[in-house]
Structure 1
């Protein structure tokens, strides 16, 4: 990667005309240089002020050029290092694509345990009778039935908290529940506060709805509550999206005093929260934010991680004054659940199948984290014993995009920090999903990635 673009980001003189310059024409010119090979993968662009001075444009125009290049997927910015030409073309949705045949997939994260299919099949036996199946295949609404809501409340209960069954709504999957909550709480053009590293689907939902994401500071324990207050003071937030338990991608869990502080702050500011609890089943000893702020929090969850990805079902536990808007969004979006999924979840819950699977997946997570800990010892990795993913701050001189490209050449898929970052500057880090490969394949992949990180990008290219 020895080429620097500082002296060669040669945007044509024809686009130099001060503040009147259309930032898109400058970005087009840089894009042409990248396409022609004049700016090569790994080249670093000059600092924005220097870029502006060289090309006779305002600093604000240069900033828009850099944002446009990042939006097109041509560059990647990394905190403390600068802006670089991408080493590879970005995937449209790196955390959501299906793995290619033969690859070791450390992108998707769907935990399975031995005997899972047998347990699920046993729980569905009665549902396959003609009368029961006929009932299950009828259309279902977002409210389900009182019996189904009671069963769902038992499934979602944790840490001494059990949701009010009357507040439970159902969706086709967790992403649809999340989309409905965002749609109901944040108007087009509105502001949604999110952790500075967040779930990629939230970024996609916000882009589709024309919502501005406001990145909020985090530390080792997760979201900093005061960052919410500061952002709201600068310009009102319509809502907050947060992952208090087993955050994706960092795996951190907010301690109880911080959750209490956040709940108090939400009440004082009058800001509703959307709590993503999809991974929280692995910490069922801890109550959710919704237990501390029940009238301010919409909790969204799903069946896919807890049970299996193939039969999806989403949940939204909503305060009374927000439930109507979310139910409307579910209906208008075509996001109502399948009756079969509702009936299957009910039977699995009543039979103890969900409880058995959760216990087994918690044990399996510990096994895989121990495996990752052995291979990645001495490296800057963050995780928890209960989590199915790791956050890896890469050693210098690696950047996330060059490491992802090198890993792909070895048949291993990992997710770069840019997928989770809100804003133009991403840390030089990757997320490793530990759930999908068999243990032996996971071990081999981790060994390969460790060796790769201890080499240099140049050595990896030559190998």
Structure 2
């Protein structure tokens, strides 16, 4: 193959983008699938995607996919196209503020974490910490994880805890073990994008289930199962990503009733639940009262696993609480599923490194996890205040430039239903031209669900000042279209 073959293929893809055959916001195939479709080597496909990224035609995130980013015309009328072009023609920023990624890090976090790691560097300790670990970890790791996962009135039984390398691997192990190739799993119609990638890789079909202001609708889940049986349902009851909604006590009880009635196993993702103070859970457990808590924060609630413990696999991790690069994924499983999940973790090579397990134990025991958690709750609340101020969001969620924001006062992300004259893809492209990256609604749409004209804004990663400036840019871009 000629040395410039990758450029030729990149030119072909660029032409497809320019012609509109590939639309802005559209997800490209995996590099392996692209290579098969084009009859080229995997290494060439990697270079093609790199060249498209260099040209600014696509944007990608590890684990989520690669999406078309060019400002192709959209069937929305000449006025919209002109306004999108005007918004995109503003002076570009020298660097991009990435509001797609969402990795919170707070001041002093590294210093706290380093203290817990220091004892592991002793030669006698390091030798044991670098051995392989079983999916069940160690008794110390299980007790520490049970403390982390405990939610007022509910604490998982340590002997039913398993460990993965991170939260994504925990989800992959759960879905592959419960569904298998060709199986069906229900998901919120707007869901965590990586679940889509995981399902594609393991051959699981995702079935979108309707959501409302409390997340997944129980009646819609039952209807989806009656249409064709579901092996599992992936659900985020607390601070659902991307909508930030939280299911109240009654909704959790209803979901538990449905999964019991139809024999479905729930994979409950609690990754962002740590942002809810004291929970999600209260001392009263599943009987906690409905209704908002202080300062608009939802009253803490026990997880779905407390309502249907025999039908729920709860997955969580330390990625968001501490750091994505040195983390542990956790699975709290019903007794009858421990063995099958253990096999799934082993067969997928998803078990946690022993070093990470030992580090996690020390961070839990020395108070690092608790201290960083409190700091991140305060940090998220501060970023929400910046969001409301710079984007101009009123108490009802209405945005000054148009549209509506859905979020929670304690969340690290928000969902912006764009002004009616904007389509999501041109908006993302116009924002990118001004140096701000946001995620189009299509990235979250599951199983053929109609992609909404909305974007998710991640608030966690940039410094506060950069976040404020980026939000002002988004407001300006929206104003151009609204004008």
Correspondence 1:177 to 2:202: no
The Cα of 1:261 is off from its aligned counterpart by 1.0
Aligned residues: 388
Rg larger for: 1
- Closer/same/farther in 2, CA of residues 344 and 40 from structure 1, 3 Å limit: closer
How far apart in 1 are the matches of 2:273 and 2:13?
46
C-alpha change, 1:267 and 1:399, in structure 2 (3 Å) is same
Aligned 8 A contact 1:95 1:415 in 2: no
Q: 2:412 aligned with 1:388, yes or no?
A: yes
Q: CA deviation at 1:102?
A: 2.6
Q: Distance in 2 between matches of 1:357 and 1:72?
A: 37
Aligned to 1:365: 380
Following superposition, the deviation at residue 424 of structure 1 comes to 5.1
CA shift at 1:436, angstroms?
A: 0.3
Summarize the Cα distance change of 1:36–1:399 in structure 2 as closer, same or farther, 3 Å threshold.
Answer: closer
Residue number in structure 1 paired with 2:152:
159
Partners of 1:94 and 1:419 within 8 A in 2: no
The corresponding residue for 2:16 is: 35
1:426 and 1:360 mapped to 2: Cα distance?
35
Q: Which residue of 2 aligns with 1:311?
A: 326
Question: 1:276 aligned to 269, 282, 300, which one?
Answer: 269
TM-score by length of structure 1 reads 0.79
Q: For residues 65 and 185 of structure 2, what CA distance do their matches in structure 1 show? A: 26
Uncovered stretches (5+) of structure 1, i.e. residues with no partner: 1-30, 44-68, 74-87
Q: Which runs of 4+ in 1 moved over 6 A?
A: 31-34, 40-43
Structure 2: segments with no counterpart, 5+ residues: 1-11, 30-55, 67-92, 280-299
- 2:308 match: 293
* Distance (whole Å) between structure 2 residues aligned to residue 169 and residue 126 of structure 1: 25
1:198 and 1:233 map into 2 onto residues whose CA distance is 21
What are the within-5 Å matches in structure 2 for residues 28-67 of structure 1?
35=16
Q: Give 2:287's aligned residue.
A: none
Cα 1:121–1:42, aligned 2, differ >3 Å: closer, same or farther? closer
Q: CA deviation at 1:124?
A: 2.0
How far apart are residue 41 of structure 1 and its match?
Answer: 8.3
Deviation digits for residues 426-451 of structure 1 (CA, Å, limit 9, x no counterpart): 00000000000000000000001011
Residue pair 1:414, 1:432 contacting (<8 A) in 2 also: yes
Q: 1:97 to 1:329 in 2, by over 3 A?
A: same
Tell me the residue number matched to 1:227. Answer: 220
- Superposition CA RMSD, Å: 2.5
Alpha-carbon distance in structure 2 between the residues aligned to 1:349 and 1:248:
26
Seen in structure 2, the aligned counterparts of structure 1 residues 255 and 114 have a Cα distance that, compared at 3 Å, is same
SS at match of 1:295: helix
Q: CA deviation at 1:148?
A: 1.3
Query: In structure 1, what is the equivalent of residue 186 of structure 2?
Result: 193
Q: Please, what TM-score do these two structures have when normalized by structure 2?
A: 0.76
Q: 1: distance between equivalents of 2:139 and 2:28?
A: 48
Task: Give a deviation string over 1:365-396, Cα, whole Å, max 9, x none.
Answer: 10000110112223100100110001000102
Task: Quote how far apart the aligned CAs of 1:351 are.
Answer: 0.6
- Cα distance change of structure 1 residues 35 and 213 upon mapping to structure 2, 3 Å threshold: same
Partner of 2:439: 415
- The equivalent of 1:117 in structure 2 is 110
- Matched residue of 2:309: which SS? coil
Would the aligned equivalents of 1:94 and 1:107 in 2 still touch at CA under 8 Å?
no
Task: Give 3-state SS (helix, strand or coil) of 1:456's partner.
Answer: helix
CA contact (8 A) 1:96 1:108 kept: no
What's the CA shift for 1:160? 2.5
State the distance in 2 between where 1:431 and 1:94 align. 17
